[in-house]
Amino acid sequence: MKIVLLGTSSAVPTLTRGLSSTALIREGDVFLFDCGEGTQVQLMRAGVRRSRIHSIFIGHLHGDHLYGIIGLLSTLHLDGREAPLNVFGPEGLRVFLNAAFRTSDLQFAFRLTIREFPRGYRGRVLDEEEFYVDALPLDHSIFCLGWRFQEKAKPGVFNLEKAEELGIPSGPLYGKLQHGENITLADGHVITPDMVLGAPRPGKSVVYCLDTQFSERSIELADKCTALIHETTFGTDAAEMARERKHSTMEDAARVAREAAAENLIATHFSSRYDGRQLARHANAFA
Ligand SMILES: [Zn+2]
Ligand SMILES: [Zn+2]
């Protein structure tokens, strides 16, 4: 999996930072988390193919996370897209989108599925063969969902030598064992998958927590994840402002990552009051 930060600025864009959006690329499919203004330009700059967008997840309805979606959808329509597209987000998203579609007489040839979640929602929003996506509410000034993209565990490595040793004829029986089924050999011996498979290989996970102040729920969502993408609007110099506006400091994000035992922390959503050098200083303090 590859993570591309398309926009890392909070509230307003700067000359060097776009508004919130992050692409997660897995097996060629693109999963877009938030879609601030300018996201479609950033996708082109980063070489992320918009035609491969599988789903868009909007965590909350503040403009800096949302206002780019209409332009992007309009472009997908002009591209002649045929593949279906999912858009997930909190209650109110459908009203916002439909108002724009109606006003601009925008009708799609592809199937656009909008799924809204009520305030306080927690649960599985997408469940596919190789991965799933869970959501739970964060702690922001308006209802905001955090997302966990989780690859399902893959079966352990098949031990060919062991299989031959046990006298299993190669062919479809191998496949059955790899799919977790017991098999019976011609001589009546029963072979269970654990006799030829290594330990299951855990899937990777990416957790997206924007926008939120420090919350135990972020820790729950990020439990032992491969990568935690967490907002860090402010440095410790503005901790009070962070609390007032229900945002996080670099220290809050580091605490969530530590308590959740996340393998990696990716900081984003920086206030325009900080330049690149100041951000690096804040980040280094918690590295
Ligand atoms: Zn924001
Ligand atoms: Zn916000």
pLDDT digits over 169-219, tens only? 999 999 999 888 999 999 999 999 999 999 989 999 999 999 999 999 999
DSSP character at residue 200? P
Dihedrals φ, ψ of 72, to 5°? -65, -45
Ligand 1 midpoint to CA 230 (Å): 11
The 10s digit of each residue's pLDDT in 231-255 is 999 999 999 999 999 999 999 999 9
The continuous run of DSSP H or E covering 285 comes out as helix 276-285
Residues with CB under 5 A from ligand 1 (ion): 10, 64, 211
Question: Which among 206, 217, 252, 211 is positioned nearest to 231, based on CA atoms?
Answer: 211
User: How many DSSP H helices and E strands does the chain contain?
Assistant: 9, 14
Work out the percent of the chain whose per-residue pLDDT is above 90: 94
How far is 135 from 57, CA to CA, in rounded Å?
10
The ligand minimizing its distance to the Cα of 139 is 2
For residues 43 and 56, the answer to whether their CB atoms sit within 8 Å is no
The end-to-end CA distance of the chain, in Å, is 23
For residues 254 and 286, the answer to whether their CB atoms sit within 8 Å is yes
The ligand minimizing its distance to the Cα of 141 is 2
Question: Which among 60, 71, 35, 73 is positioned nearest to 137, based on CA atoms?
Answer: 60
How far is 278 from 287, CA to CA, in rounded Å?
14
The ligand minimizing its distance to the Cα of 231 is 1
Ligand 2 midpoint to CA 262 (Å): 23
How far is 285 from 155, CA to CA, in rounded Å?
40
Which of 64, 134, 211, 252 is catalytic? The answer is: 64
The ligand minimizing its distance to the Cα of 20 is 1
Ligand 1 midpoint to CA 212 (Å): 9
Dihedrals φ, ψ of 221, to 5°? -65, -35
Ligand 2 midpoint to CA 140 (Å): 7
Work out the percent of the chain whose per-residue pLDDT is above 70: 100
How far is 169 from 154, CA to CA, in rounded Å?
23
Dihedrals φ, ψ of 121, to 5°? -60, 140
How far is 287 from 235, CA to CA, in rounded Å?
14
* Coil, helix or strand at residue 138: coil
Ligand 2 midpoint to CA 177 (Å): 48
Residues with CB under 5 A from ligand 2 (ion): 62, 211
Q: What would the two tokens of residue 245 be?
A: 């506006």
Q: What is the 3-state secondary structure (H, E, C) of 258-280?
A: HHHCCCCEEEECECCCCCHHHHH
Ligand 2 midpoint to CA 89 (Å): 13
Averaged pLDDT, 80-94 = 98
64 a catalytic residue:
yes
- Go through the domains of the chain in sequence order and give each one's CATH number: 2-153+202-285 (3.60.15.10), 160-195 (no CATH)
Ligand 1 midpoint to CA 74 (Å): 23
CA angle 260, 88, 125 (to 5 degrees): 60
Q: How far is CA 5 from the centre of its chain?
A: 11
Q: Rounded to 5, what percent of the chain is helix, strand, coil?
A: 30, 30, 40
The mean pLDDT of the chain is 96
Ligand 2 midpoint to CA 79 (Å): 31
**Torsion, Cα of 75, 3, 227, 62 (10° steps):** -30
Q: How far is CA 225 from the centre of its chain?
A: 11
Q: pLDDT band at residue 105, thresholds of 50, 70 and 90?
A: very high
Rounded alpha-carbon distances, angstroms, from residue 10 to 43, 102, 233, 242, 267: 18, 29, 7, 12, 12
The ligand minimizing its distance to the Cα of 64 is 1
Ligand 2 midpoint to CA 96 (Å): 16
Q: What would the two tokens of residue 31 be?
A: 């999963």
The 10s digit of each residue's pLDDT in 10-68 is 999 999 999 999 999 999 999 999 999 999 999 999 999 999 999 999 999 999 999 99
